[in-house]
Structures are given as C-alpha cells and as structure tokens.
Amino acid sequence: MPKLRKTVAYVLKFLNRTTRNLPDVAKDRIRKAIGTEKEMEATTPVEAAELRNAEKIIIKAHQRQYCSIITANTQRKLNITPDSDGIWRCHGSLGKSRLPEEAKKPIFIAPNNSLANLIIREAHGKYHRSTAHTMAEVRKRFWIPKLCQQVKKVIRKCTVCQKYNNLPFRYPPLAELPDTKSRSITTISRRGT
C-alpha cells in the first residue's frame, strides 16, 4: 500500500504539472474524473497531505469499481453511508467511545481483491504479526468482510512466517532404556519352564 500511495501521489503531481496551462473548465473536468477537489502544489518530494489525498483517491476508485457489492441489503446490515469526502464508511456501536474517528467509522473495502490484500499485507508488516494482531491493525481504519479468512490466506503466503512457523516437529531426545529391557534373555527363561 505505501508504494501504491506514493505512485498515485506522483501521478497526481504529474497531472497537475501537465494541466497547469489548460483552461479552468478542462482542469475541473480532469479533477472530477480523477476524484480530487483541489490543485496540488509543485513540490518535488511527496508530502504527507499528498499521500493522504492519494489514499482517498485510491479508496474512492476502489469503491466505485466494487459499488455493485454495496447493495441495499449490505448497506442496512453494515450500516454503510458515505462521509463528507464521498467515502463509504461503516457505522457501528462504537459511536460514543473514545476511539479515534477512523476506528469508530471504518472505511468499507470490498473483500477478496488486491486492495484488501495490500491493506492486510501492510498491517501484517515488518513485524509479521499473528492473525489476531493483523486483524486488529486492519480494523483500526478499514472494515473488510470475511477478514479472518483473508488474513489467514495472506499469512499462509508470507515466506518469512513460513520459515518460522512451518518447521517440522522435533522429537525430544530418547532416554536410555532400563537395564531390564536391554538385557538379552533366552526364550526358555521367559516362559518359566
């Protein structure tokens, strides 16, 4: 997800520079097609505000692409409504809690797609968290249906986690047999005749 965010931010900068000399009507049409409201400054390094704007554009494009999943039934079940930026959010029972606003109203992401996998991989991160920790990290900002199933799938494909978690079972070292078991005895002495 960080690479995608940065790439989209650079694309937005490029579009801003190339459309600088166009008439305002054309600029507005391009901004509307992209999904951005304001013009970006022509600074060389990408700033945090530009990365946040790029993330909003990525999420809006994703939600436009998967809008067929957000049916009336799903909207009622998950209580999904658009916010002021036009991003679909799930409203739950945490509205009056002291959590940050993003955790109270997480962004809806359609299940089983590349954006969901990128978000899960970012949450799994460099610390290679367990399934529960990865799910908790994702749910701080996003609501993905069938999250547990997808997190397990991503962790199963993580090569670093496989190295440490999929080791063969190591049997404990065998103890020495007692004297009575290791002595050679003839067959007649065992029968008692």
What pLDDT tens digit does each residue of the chain (193 aa) get?
Answer: 889 999 998 888 888 888 888 888 888 888 778 777 666 566 678 888 889 989 999 999 999 888 877 777 677 788 888 899 889 999 888 888 888 888 899 999 999 999 999 999 999 988 899 999 999 999 999 999 999 999 999 999 999 988 888 777 778 888 887 877 667 766 655 555 5
Tell me the whole-structure pTM to 2 decimals. 0.77
Cα–Cα distances in Å, from 187 out to 180, 182, 190?
Answer: 15, 15, 5
Q: What is the reported pLDDT for 46?
A: 82
Q: Tell me, yes or no, whether 118 and 39 share the same domain.
A: no
In a domain, 171, yes or no: no
Q: Tell me, yes or no, whether 71 and 157 share the same domain.
A: yes
Q: Tell me, yes or no, whether 72 and 61 share the same domain.
A: no
* Count of CA atoms in the C-beta half-sphere (13 A) of 92: 16
| 160 exposure class (CB count in 10 Å sphere: 0-12, 13-18, 19+) | exposed
**Range of the structural domain that residue 130 is part of:** 67-164
Structure tokens at 71: 């049916």
Q: Tell me, yes or no, whether 28 and 115 share the same domain.
A: no
| 60 Cβ contact partners less than 8 Å away, ≥ 6 residues apart | 35, 85, 86, 87
Q: What is the reported pLDDT for 116?
A: 95
In a domain, 188, yes or no: no
Structure tokens at 136: 């908790």
